[in-house]
Chains A and B, each alone.
Chain A
């Protein structure tokens, strides 16, 4: 009876659709082709695209890659979380890059626009500098979209399983998973300590000096508490066979299809081709 009821449970759907941590880096459930790819494939292709973007000589290549990647994440229905971060990081980056490189890039020659400014006469933006700024910007855009796209379409559990199936040790996979949850845990621990200290009269809103003092008052119990927690956790992990050698099984199946293998090979070939082409250009 009980066995019947257990096997009715679709563990995969249950884990996939569970409520998450509400962070921006959180997995968004879905069933698009991008979601279904093996996580390792997504990682390999992302890294390949980043390498290609950093190898290409002008900004048109990275721009085209960014647009293509954006279309891909839009098709996967995760454009919103990805764009939120890309815009939040990219906008100040774009402004500072264009201003600084446009004005001061050492190879600046061709004036793009010039403004008359009192005292220093005129302020000129140069084509070379702006193009260089765009090159850096779109290289970073490729990096952000590719990695964020991978993160938000991959359940962390599946990523760790895929990595372990490719031979990554379970300790490294654990560190990856635990790191995702470590920050919210530390935050809530810190909040509890701060509340307790404020209740006993610690002033956390005053000038810099007393704030520094309160910082010390926070860090000591936070670190000691974390160390004690680590001891308990180490014992709990040990008791659940964490360091056991031998075969492991996984709660979820993470398929590695022919499409995955093809994509990974194509990604490697593309990197080799682009690097080869650039080297050939240098030699010629």
Chain B
């Protein structure tokens, strides 16, 4: 089992600009699902880089304190050794592919070839990883020609093939379209049930909040809030540093306006609807609500074209 602990950890990059992370004291239980959020440049990525040992082995700077993964001191193990425990998924879906494979299976098998496993095992584990992220059918595709969402899932399959039990995902969906982001989040949400310890950094937590055991807010290199999503989102002032999900905002307003007085804040849209249902029903009983006139809306936009297409044809050269 892999427990992660930070003891009084501070880090400053050699390029300066002060401490990127300061005095972080933290224990992450094996098998838990941790969300990390906070403003840009707050130290979230630096935090992530500490777990697989990229700090201090790849980045230059001063590390104080101790980071331990599964009892192993990170500063004393190599990135390659840690990779068998900790897998990391980066933000950019294309840059983290090896750039040296002609098919998806080669890409996923790359790490296993380096480990010197039997060929049968390599194929088995590669195919299993692809299946786990739901892209088995891409096995013979060229990795350079995938969409962002597909590419990110190939990268995730390549990480899973190394059989880590901790997954660190640094803004895994920020460069994906909504459809691709949804696909990745769905897989990530299922990872906890498969026994992984998951640490996911995201500015948009709506989709993941219901699955989180714990939510950390990092601000200016320090852990500003630490608790269950319910606790963190109901802390006064938290919305200044965190993008609070819509359902939570609605829940908070309902409580402030005293429409609802009990129970936990709704973390999902479904839970928010349940809370709103009695209000809507009572409003419907009370009479008609004011609505915008949809016809007037349409007429205005039709008479006032900002962008108009009329019978447009275009064929790219050489197609």
| Residue positions of A touching B, CB distance < 8 A | 2-3, 5-7, 9, 11, 14-15, 17-21, 155-157, 160, 170, 174, 177-178, 181-182, 184-185, 228-229, 232-244, 246-251, 253
Contact = CB atoms under 8 A, between A and B. Distances in A.
Interface string B97-114: 111111101100111111
B42 interface: no
B90 interface: yes
B87 to A, nearest CB: 7
B116 A17 contact: no
Contacts of A11: 105, 123
A249 B118 CA distance: 7
A249 B103 contact: no
Contact of A240 (B83, B90, B102, B144): B83
Contact of B111 (A7, A17, A155, A241): A241
B111 A181 contact: no
B102 A155 contact: yes
Given A232-B96, A250-B119, 15 more contacts: A2-B128, A3-B124, A18-B140, A155-B102, A160-B100, A177-B99, A185-B94, A229-B92, A239-B162, A241-B111, A242-B114, A244-B114, A244-B115, A249-B119, A251-B113
A7 B120 contact: yes
A248 B116 contact: yes
Nearest to A236: B96
A61 to B, nearest CB: 37
Interface residues of B, number: 49
A239 B81 CA distance: 8
A157 B101 contact: yes
B88 A239 contact: yes
B122 interface: yes
A15 B109 CA distance: 12
Contact of B123 (A9, A234, A242): A9
A244 B79 CA distance: 10
The list of the 6 closest CB pairs from A to B, nearest first, reads: A240-B111, A241-B114, A177-B100, A232-B95, A229-B95, A247-B116
